[in-house]
A and B are shown apart, each in its own frame.
Chain A
């Protein structure tokens, strides 16, 4: 199993540009999570999906952020327009979502490091 795959690994863009981060969860995992990590705020849960349905997006900072999961094997996190304060490492994670051992046992991707100039 290749694990959770995120792309791009690094992105440098200019303020105002659209940014799209991509995630492929582990096959068979029914839950997908997007986190953001900065030095100041640590790891923050942005949004999560169960069976491709967004369950809780209360962590999404503002309307500039949107996330989709069109199918069980792909999700995107979009920032439009991007701002320098969006600079962070964005992690995607997935879990089976079922059972005590599955629901909260998350496998994380390697992250996408975003720099907005």
Chain B
């Protein structure tokens, strides 16, 4: 699987957009970008995923660069409840079913009041 690089920590003011970068310069053509987050003392939570097009859902937007070597997760109006560790994961889908995700250290996003 392609390696991902994320900043260790970031701050964002409440109500502003939080932009979390992820570098995955060795990504392969069949690898998807997944984002999860883990709020303190809870299990990880799926946020969004994409292949090459930008994606948006009720939680966030995912912007993937044209060369697919990096991506940005955007939380449009961050709240205090968005304080969490955010994980960017690159994983292929082979069509043969699930095969597990490897979580790195992620980015600790702190939303400031």
The interface of chain A, by Cβ under 8 A from chain B, is: 4, 30-31, 33, 35, 42-43, 45, 48, 50, 55-56, 91, 93, 95, 97-98, 100-111
Report the tally of A-B residue pairs with Cβ distances under 8 A. 67
| Pick from A4, A91, A104: contact of B98, CB under 8 Å | A104
The 10 A-B residue pairs whose C-beta atoms are closest, nearest first, are: A108-B43, A31-B98, A43-B103, A97-B98, A103-B98, A97-B97, A45-B100, A50-B97, A48-B100, A100-B93
User: A91 touching B102 by the CB < 8 A rule?
Assistant: no
- Identify the closest chain B residue to A56 (Cβ): B100
Interface size on B, residues (CB 8 A): 23
| Contact assessment for A91 and B97 in the assembled complex, using a CB-CB cutoff below 8 Å | no
**From B38, B45, B101, B105, contact of A104 by CB (8 A):** B101
Interface residues of B (CB under 8 A from A): 32, 34, 36, 38, 42-46, 49, 51, 89, 91, 93, 97-105
The answer, among A103, A104, A107, A110, for a CB contact under 8 Å with B42, is A110
In the complex, the answer to whether A42 meets B97 with C-beta atoms within 8 Å is no
Which label, helix, strand, loop or mixed, suits the secondary structure of the B interface?
loop
B73 to chain A, nearest CB (A): 15
On whether the beta carbons of B104 and A42 are closer than 8 Å, the reply is yes
Can you spell out 9 A-B residue pairs with CB atoms less than 8 angstroms apart? Answer: A55-B99, A100-B51, A102-B98, A103-B98, A105-B34, A106-B44, A106-B98, A108-B44, A108-B45
CB-nearest residue of chain B relative to A32? Answer: B98
Given A30-B97, A97-B97, A104-B34, A110 contacting B49 (CB threshold 8 A): no
Asked if B98 and A50 sit within 8 Å, CB to CB, the answer is: yes
Query: What is the minimal beta-carbon distance from A28 to any residue of chain B, in angstroms?
Result: 14
Name, among B38, B46, B51, B91, the residue most crowded by chain A CB atoms within 10 Å (CB to CB): B46
Smallest CB separation, A2 vs chain B (Å): 14
Contact at B98–A43, with CB atoms within 8 Å?
Answer: no
